Amino acid sequence: MIRVLIVDDEILVRIGLKTIIPWEQNGFELVGEASNGAEALHLLQQQECHIVLTDIRMPELDGLQLLEAMKTIAPRAKCLILSNHNDFEYVQKALRLGAVDYILKLTMEPEELLEKLNQLKETIEFETEKTMEDSQLQYKMSKYGREAREKRIRELLVKQNSTRWDVEDMMREFNLQPYSAPIYVVNFQLDHYHEVLEQNKFQSERLLHFTVANILTEIFKKYFEGELIEIENGKYSIIVDNLQKSMLLEAQEAIAAFLELTISIGVSAPLLEILDVHQGFVQASEALAYRFYEEEGALIYYGRIDVSGSGILPEPWSDNEWERLLEKRDEAGLQLKLQESYEAILNGPRSNPEYVREVWVHLVHILEAFARRLGGDLYSVPLYGAMYPYHAVRSLERMRDIYLWFHGWLPVYLGQLKQFSHQLYRPEIQAVLNTIKEHFDQPLKVSELAKQVSFTENYLSVLFKKETGETIMDYLTRIRMARARELLKDQTYKIYEISEMVGYGDSNYFSKQFKKMEGVYPLEYRKLYLGKSAS
For residue 48, give the H/E element and its range: none
Say whether pLDDT at 448 is over 80: yes
Same domain, 383 and 437: no
Note down the domain range covering 395: 319-417
Q: Is residue 148 part of a domain?
A: no
Same domain, 294 and 168: yes
For residue 54, give the H/E element and its range: strand 51-55
How far out from the chain centre does Cα 395 lie? 19
Say whether pLDDT at 352 is over 70: yes
Q: Which of 417, 439, 471 is the last residue of a domain?
A: 417
Q: Is residue 140 part of a domain?
A: no
Same domain, 479 and 527: yes
Say whether pLDDT at 308 is over 60: no
Say whether pLDDT at 447 is over 70: yes
Exposure of 401 by Cβ count < 10 A (0-12 exposed, 13-18 middle, 19+ buried)? middle
Same domain, 208 and 255: yes
Q: Mean pLDDT score of the chain, rounded to an integer? A: 86
Overall number of domains in the chain: 4
Rounded CA gap, 277 and 239, in Å?
8
Same domain, 34 and 77: yes
| Mean pLDDT across 331-351 | 88
pLDDT at 430: 87
Same domain, 386 and 455: no
Using one digit for the tens of pLDDT, what is the confidence trace for 481-519? Answer: 999 999 999 989 999 999 999 999 999 999 999 998 888
Q: Is residue 144 part of a domain?
A: no
Residue 182, preceding peptide bond in cis (omega within 30° of 0): yes
Q: Which of 364, 392, 417 is the last residue of a domain?
A: 417
Same domain, 6 and 121: yes
pTM for this structure? 0.63
Give 299's strand partners.
265
Same domain, 227 and 119: no
Say whether pLDDT at 313 is over 60: no
Q: Is residue 311 part of a domain?
A: no
DSSP 168-211: HHHHHHTTPPPP-SSBEEEEEEETTHHHHHHHTTTSSHHHHHHH
**CATH assignment of the domain containing 516:** 1.10.10.60
Q: Which of 129, 148, 181 is the last residue of a domain?
A: 129
pLDDT at 417: 85
Q: Report the alpha-carbon angle 146-196-294, nearest 5.
A: 95
Nearest to 277 by CA among 145, 127, 176, 416: 176
| Mean pLDDT across 324-339 | 92
Q: Is residue 329 part of a domain?
A: yes
524 C-beta neighbours (distance < 10 Å), count: 16
**CATH assignment of the domain containing 285:** 3.30.70.270
pLDDT at 146: 67
Give 33's strand partners.
6
Q: Is residue 44 part of a domain?
A: yes
Say whether pLDDT at 369 is over 70: yes
- Grade residue 529 by pLDDT with cuts at 50, 70 and 90: confident
Same domain, 279 and 177: yes
Using one digit for the tens of pLDDT, what is the confidence trace for 147-206? Answer: 777 888 888 888 877 777 777 777 777 667 778 889 999 999 999 988 888 877 777 888
- The residue ranking higher by pLDDT, 133 or 360, is 360
Same domain, 13 and 110: yes
Q: Is residue 149 part of a domain?
A: no
Same domain, 179 and 297: yes
pLDDT at 85: 66
- Grade residue 350 by pLDDT with cuts at 50, 70 and 90: confident
Pairing relationship of beta strands 235-240 and 228-232 according to DSSP bridges: antiparallel
Using one digit for the tens of pLDDT, what is the confidence trace for 196-227? Answer: 888 777 778 888 888 898 899 889 888 887 78
Least confident window among 169-178, 242-251, 253-262, 309-318: 309-318
pLDDT at 535: 36
**CATH assignment of the domain containing 59:** 3.40.50.2300
Same domain, 208 and 233: yes
Say whether pLDDT at 136 is over 70: no
Q: Is residue 145 part of a domain?
A: no
